[in-house]
Structure 1
Amino acid sequence: MADQVAGQIVTDYLQDLLLDTDDVEEFLTEFAKFAAVRLFERGGQTLCSITLLRDKRAGTVASSSDAARTLDELQYLFAEGPCLTACKTQETVHVADVATDERWEGYLSRVAEHGVRSILAVPFSLEAGARAALNVYSTEKGGFDPDAITTAETFVAQTSKALMLSVRLAQRNESAASLKTAMKSRTAIDIAIGIIMAQNRCTQAEAFSILKSVSSSRNEKLRDIAASVVASIGQAEPETHFDP
């Protein structure tokens, strides 16, 4: 029953977070901070971050603190470690004691210098083309018992769908913004062509050729030259009616 209540709290939190944040980076950062503070009720300090592995390149997309990001970057420096392994294998990786674990000895010895004693890495279930994992660093040896690992896995499983939705929304917004920019540029160019046709009594093709020639000679973008032509007759920047 307690697990159900905790699960509902997480679900409600994620829903509110999706509604309240404006972009994926903000969503993930708040998610990492929530995980660091609320996910594990144990002694010592807990640091959280999220690693994204895409096109064989790894990077930290969010962290609960600068210290957590630093620990991730050490892992990328060694090109191996619990989180990278979790991303690649899609399986949870647990380091109960960095001092005795024989995997990734170079990396673990370095994180120990930062006060880390145990590590947990749990992969997200994402769509093809991207892999990610939640990294949890504890200053306590044996900082993650079986219940804590189960809690983390449940938390990440619940978050995977929210994360995919957040990424899809961001991609949609980026596509819409790109299309709007392209249409705005096209509008300015079309109006500029009309102005040149009227001023020079030439065809549409000839007017467009004049625009391209000026753009090339000045080494400026075509849309910027077009905007200058429109502004030269005292007109404001043309409006583009577009509803994504």
Structure 2
Amino acid sequence: MDGFQADAATVDSVLASPEDAPAVVKKVARSAATLSVEQLAAFVTALGGSIIDEDHLVVVLQRAVEIAHRAIDGADSCGITIVSGGRTFTAVHTDARTLQVDVHQYEIGEGPCLHAATTGEIVRVDVDGADARWPQFVAAAKEEGIRSFLAAPLYTPTERFGSLNIYGHRPDAFIEHDRAVVEALTAALARAISDYARFRHARDLADGLREALDSRAPIEQAKGMLMAIHRIDADAAFRMLAENSQRSNRKLRVVAKELLAAVSGVDAATAVTAKEPT
């Protein structure tokens, strides 16, 4: 891809402080360019490291929608649709309205997010511009108070597998700058996911994500325990779980469940096998 050669300080700031990621993405978009492949990789690894399994993939997708929500001024609701292996579902979302609008789209079988996911095109349109293309969906979206849509395809080098979906309450809520933001985010996600997805068939990827979504509770509970025990934030707690998962070559959910069982049965200070950050 065409490379925007961001200075090293920009990338380092993301790596050192993931909460600054929305500002960095906006800076890239203002430059009317995209990050280089290496910089995109650095950007996403700052959100949680290399993807180690489908549990970790869910975490990275959730962070991506949170960044979009913060980086795009008109973004009132954000989510990610997975269209892969004959499955269509919302993997992550920022609020209940996102999920409701997505479900309308899936039931009707048309809309901006499905269009982006299946065609690879970015869609930026408000309800008036979309009414002729997707009348049933637009009517349902209006009932939910949604007036603007911005959707970008999610992809790997070999396939498209979903879309990043942004909904706004105002007509014309999104501008060309916002399109550049979602392009930067989806390109970063593509880089982060490509190595992981290379070893998974489309149906396996979709099934694994669904299973991971059903298994999120133990991971969140384990993060909460680590935060309380070590007085650390959520990102540091997740890193502890991820490092343990990588060292032991076990899924995140397995590590989380073992931690919960250990802490409930013995002294919390000695139950955690992950090394506390220094």
TM-score range, shorter chain: 0.5 to 0.7
Partner in structure 2 of residue 120 of structure 1: 150
* TM alignment of 1:1-244, pairs within 5 A: 2-3=27-28, 12-19=42-49, 23-38=56-71, 40=72, 42=73, 44-95=74-125, 97-101=126-130, 102-128=132-158, 131-167=161-197
1:119 CA drift (Å): 0.2
Q: Secondary structure at the match of 1:86?
A: helix
Q: 2:80–2:165: 8 Å Cα contact kept in structure 1?
A: yes
Q: 1:124–1:133: 8 Å Cα contact kept in structure 2?
A: yes
Distance 1:10 1:114, change over 3 A: farther
Q: Secondary structure at the match of 1:140?
A: coil
> Per-residue displacement from partner, 1:85-112 (whole Å, max 9, x unpaired)?
11111111122x2145311111111111
> Percentage identity across aligned positions?
25
Structure with max Cα Rg: 1
Q: Secondary structure at the match of 1:51?
A: strand
1: CA distance between counterparts of 2:60 and 2:200? 11
1:46 CA drift (Å): 2.1
Letter in 2 for 1:3: V
> Per-residue displacement from partner, 1:39-88 (whole Å, max 9, x unpaired)?
x1x2x552111111113331111112222122111100101111111111
Structure 2 unaligned blocks of 5 or more: 1-5, 7-26, 205-278
2: CA distance between counterparts of 1:91 and 1:133? 10
> Per-residue displacement from partner, 1:11-56 (whole Å, max 9, x unpaired)?
6542122329862112211221121112x1x2x5521111111133
Letter in 1 for 2:67: F
Q: 1:24–1:170: 8 Å Cα contact kept in structure 2?
A: no
Distance 1:45 1:82, change over 3 A: closer
> Per-residue displacement from partner, 1:97-138 (whole Å, max 9, x unpaired)?
214531111111111111111001101222546521111111
> Which 4+ runs in 1 deviate beyond 3 A?
4-13, 127-130, 165-171
2: CA distance between counterparts of 1:69 and 1:77? 12
Distance 1:27 1:113, change over 3 A: same
1: CA distance between counterparts of 2:29 and 2:105? 35
1: CA distance between counterparts of 2:168 and 2:137? 15
Letter in 1 for 2:127: V
Q: 2:152–2:164: 8 Å Cα contact kept in structure 1?
A: yes
Q: 2:68–2:75: 8 Å Cα contact kept in structure 1?
A: no
Q: 2:29–2:180: 8 Å Cα contact kept in structure 1?
A: no
Paired residues in the alignment total: 168
> Per-residue displacement from partner, 1:200-232 (whole Å, max 9, x unpaired)?
xxxxxxxxxxxxxxxxxxxxxxxxxxxxxxxxx
Letter in 1 for 2:68: A
2: CA distance between counterparts of 1:169 and 1:14? 20
1: CA distance between counterparts of 2:75 and 2:180? 19
Q: 1:55–1:129: 8 Å Cα contact kept in structure 2?
A: no
2: CA distance between counterparts of 1:48 and 1:32? 6
Q: 1:37–1:46: 8 Å Cα contact kept in structure 2?
A: no
- What value does the CA root-mean-square deviation take over the aligned residues? 3.0
Q: Secondary structure at the match of 1:19?
A: coil
